[in-house]
């Protein structure tokens, strides 16, 4: 699973262009209309310039004032058509671009929703956000400003060459020589500037990463008075970016002046030679006047074509990063077992029903004739082996069981594999070897959405969403009533502090709960799990961020929530696991001890040392 590449140019131009073309193809009518109008705009400009020849030769030279007025009117009409075409394609392109961006953002977000956690482990949050901001904005700019301009410049460039040869083929050979020199310099300058632009991007990425890291760690920075050292680090990176940017821009900045200078020299030579040809009768004055305007304008489409082409290449690089993310393999879910509401008939048989009954059962969609299996919460590990990366095993031959209603606690040092076991139960990852069963069903046979719907999880890292306090609790059950929300808050002992907030349950939560204390955020996360009313509850350091008094209150409330449910608890504070039915001590991915609190203390092994170490610290 590759990390997102952040180069300036696409690695595979043909593939990126093909993927991008498919999005344009969804709105082919609008795109085709833009192309036609852009071509009409360019042709109008060419034809308007060409009209100098007949106007000068047929009307000015003969002193035909009425004919001159007619010719000027026709020329003006041609330019009006060009202006209207330009206005038309810009307006249509805006709408077409927004439709394309809508499709890209929708497909990208949908694919991110389906990707496994391993993808997010390997890619920074900032890199993923840049797909929706920097890369999508670059595509937007290119579509709005470069796509039609590129077509217009190409038509104008080819049309100019054709008309130049029609007006004077001998002078046009000199124009071709000037074009050749222009393209040579553009190619030379482009190669040189690319090297420095690549360095600029590297230094920019280094600076952005440094700023992101320091802003995120401002509290630590201030605690250790590290502001001056951080500023020095910033200044060094900023200076490196300045030097790389100056080198890149110095080469790029010479491109347009050099092309214009070559164009001026070419124009001067052709004007002198053309004037001599008119004096010698080898050409007419109207043709020379029109020809010189075309020569004067010849550098403009070249400059525009080069600039817009570069913009499109940068946009395609961004599109390539987006499309590469879209091509990432989604979570594999071949499960056929689903969770359904059930009711019991008079003879005790369970049958599925659409209404919510508070009773659930497993149904295998691949075998509709099979009887429904009631949801009980029996979880078992059978010789499970797992590693996040090939060749690096985290769990070694884990065998355990949790009967319905049991409370199982995992303790051990950091990195022992406690959270990994939780990640396997809810299938954030799949086992490498062995099997995990849920009510006798291999979890790999259960649809992931249904499996996770049956689990209530309080993670170690709480995350709250922008919305009211009630909305954040209701995230565990989107159709929960206000009464259910408040009941869940009471279970988590969050109700009292919520009612003391300015608007109570309607208080807005912002900045991932920045207006709440860490303990209050943890209480809301517990209430969110409580409102889901799951048969299996997973508490991953659920009380790690609350004080001892609050922890005691939570435990009282959790007793009601845990009644009759299978509960998995991970805790560093061993006081929170003393009343567990079974305590499993993990070290280096293996179960080294198991038993009740009293049994493990009597063994005077690993748990005994952990417990007394914590007791002495407290």
pLDDT in tens, 265-276: 877 877 787 778
Look at the chain and count its residues: 618
Those residues whose C-beta lies under 8 Å from the C-beta of residue 220, and which sit 6 or more positions away, are: 226
User: Is the per-residue pLDDT at 206 higher than 70?
Assistant: yes
Those residues whose C-beta lies under 8 Å from the C-beta of residue 168, and which sit 6 or more positions away, are: 274, 277, 283, 287, 288, 291
Report residue 232 CA to chain centroid gap: 32
Cα 423 to Cα 68: distance, rounded to the nearest angstrom: 84
- Per-residue model confidence (pLDDT) at position 492: 81
Cα 234 to Cα 225: distance, rounded to the nearest angstrom: 16
Question: Is 551 in contact with 545 (CB distance < 8 Å)?
Answer: no
Helix or strand or coil: residue 409?
A: strand
User: Tokens representing 215?
Assistant: 């802003």
CB burial of 196-208 (b: ≥16 within 10 Å; e: otherwise) equals: bbebbbebbeebe
Cα 418 to Cα 148: distance, rounded to the nearest angstrom: 57
* DSSP code, position 441: E
Averaged confidence pLDDT in the chain = 80
User: Tokens representing 299?
Assistant: 């550098």
Write the DSSP assignment of 528-541 as a string of letters.
Answer: HHHHH--SEEEEES
C-alpha neighbours within 13 Å on the C-beta side of residue 120 = 13
User: Is the per-residue pLDDT at 89 higher than 80?
Assistant: yes
Q: Of 57-71, 338-352, 584-598, where does mean pLDDT reach its minimum?
A: 57-71
- Per-residue model confidence (pLDDT) at position 615: 44
Helix or strand or coil: residue 567?
A: strand
Write the DSSP assignment of 149-199 as a string of letters.
Answer: HHHHHHHHHHHHHHHHHHH-HHHHHHHHHHHHHHHHHHHHHHHHHHHHHHH
The pLDDT > 90 percentage for the chain reads 7
Write the DSSP assignment of 199-240 as a string of letters.
Answer: HHHHHHHHHHHHHHHHHHTHHHHHHTT-HHHHHHHHHHHHHH
Q: What is the pTM of this model?
A: 0.70
449 versus 6: the higher-pLDDT residue is 449
């Amino acid at each position: 699973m590759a990390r997102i590449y952040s180069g300036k140019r696409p690695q595979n131009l043909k593939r990126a262009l093909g993927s991008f073309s498919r999005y344009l193809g969804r709105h082919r009518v609008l795109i085709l209309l833009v192309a036609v109008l852009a071509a009409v705009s360019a042709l109008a400009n060419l034809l308007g310039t060409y009209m100098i020849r007949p106007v000068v030769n047929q009307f000015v030279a003969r002193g035909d004032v009425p004919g001159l007025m007619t010719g000027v009117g026709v020329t003006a009409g041609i330019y009006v058509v060009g202006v209207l075409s330009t206005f038309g394609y810009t307006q249509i392109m805006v709408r077409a671009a927004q439709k394309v961006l809508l499709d890209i953002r929708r497909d990208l977000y949908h694919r991110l929703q389906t990707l496994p956690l391993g993808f997010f482990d390997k890619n920074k949050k900032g890199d993923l956000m840049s797909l929706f901001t920097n890369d999508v904005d670059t595509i937007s700019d290119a579509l709005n400003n470069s796509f039609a301009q590129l077509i217009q410049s190409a038509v104008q460039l080819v049309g100019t060459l054709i008309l130049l040869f029609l007006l004077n083929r001998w002078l046009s050979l000199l124009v071709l020589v000037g074009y050749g020199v222009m393209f040579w310099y553009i190619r030379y300058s482009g190669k040189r500037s690319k090297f420095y632009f690549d360095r600029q991007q590297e230094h920019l990425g280094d600076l952005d990463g440094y700023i992101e890291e320091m802003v995120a760690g401002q509290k630590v920075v201030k605690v250790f008075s590290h502001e001056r050292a951080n500023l020095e680090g910033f200044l060094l990176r900023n200076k490196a970016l300045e030097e790389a940017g100056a080198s890149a821009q110095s080469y790029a900045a010479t491109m347009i002046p050099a092309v214009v200078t070559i164009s001026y020299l070419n124009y001067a030579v052709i004007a002198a030679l053309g004037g001599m040809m008119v004096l010698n009768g080898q050409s007419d004055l109207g043709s020379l006047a029109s020809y010189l305007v075309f020569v004067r304008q010849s550098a403009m489409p070249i400059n525009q074509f080069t600039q817009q082409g570069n913009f499109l290449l940068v946009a395609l690089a961004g599109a390539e990063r987006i499309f590469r993310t879209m091509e990432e393999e989604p979570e594999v879910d071949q499960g056929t077992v689903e969770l359904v509401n059930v009711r019991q008939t008079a003879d005790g048989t369970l049958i599925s029903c659409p209404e919510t009954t508070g009773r659930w059962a497993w149904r295998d969609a691949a075998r509709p004739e099979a009887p429904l299996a009631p949801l009980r919460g029996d979880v078992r590990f059978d010789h499970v082996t797992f590693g996040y990366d090939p060749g690096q095993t985290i769990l070694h031959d884990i065998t355990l069981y949790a009967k319905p209603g049991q409370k199982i606690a995992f303790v051990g040092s950091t990195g022992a594999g406690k959270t990994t076991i939780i990640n396997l139960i809810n299938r954030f990852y799949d086992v490498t070897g062995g099997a995990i069963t849920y009510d006798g069903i291999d979890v790999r046979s259960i649809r992931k959405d249904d499996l996770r719907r049956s689990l209530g999880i309080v993670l170690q890292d709480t995350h709250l969403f922008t919305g009211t306090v009630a909305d954040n609790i209701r995230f565990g059950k989107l159709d929960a009533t206000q009464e259910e929300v408040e009941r869940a808050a009471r279970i988590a002992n969050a109700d009292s502090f919520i009612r003391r907030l300015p608007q109570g349950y309607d208080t807005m939560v912002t900045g991932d709960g920045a207006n709440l204390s860490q303990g209050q955020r943890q209480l809301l996360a517990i209430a969110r799990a409580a409102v889901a009313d799951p048969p299996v509850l997973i508490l991953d350091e659920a009380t790690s961020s609350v004080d001892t008094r609050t922890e005691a209150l939570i435990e009282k409330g959790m007793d009601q929530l845990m009644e009759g449910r299978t509960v998995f608890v991970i805790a560093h504070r061993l006081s929170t696991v003393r009343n567990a039915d079974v305590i499993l001590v993990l070290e280096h991915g293996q179960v080294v001890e198991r038993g009740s609190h009293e049994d493990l203390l009597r063994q005077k092994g690993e748990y005994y040392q952990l417990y007394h170490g914590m007791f002495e610290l407290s």
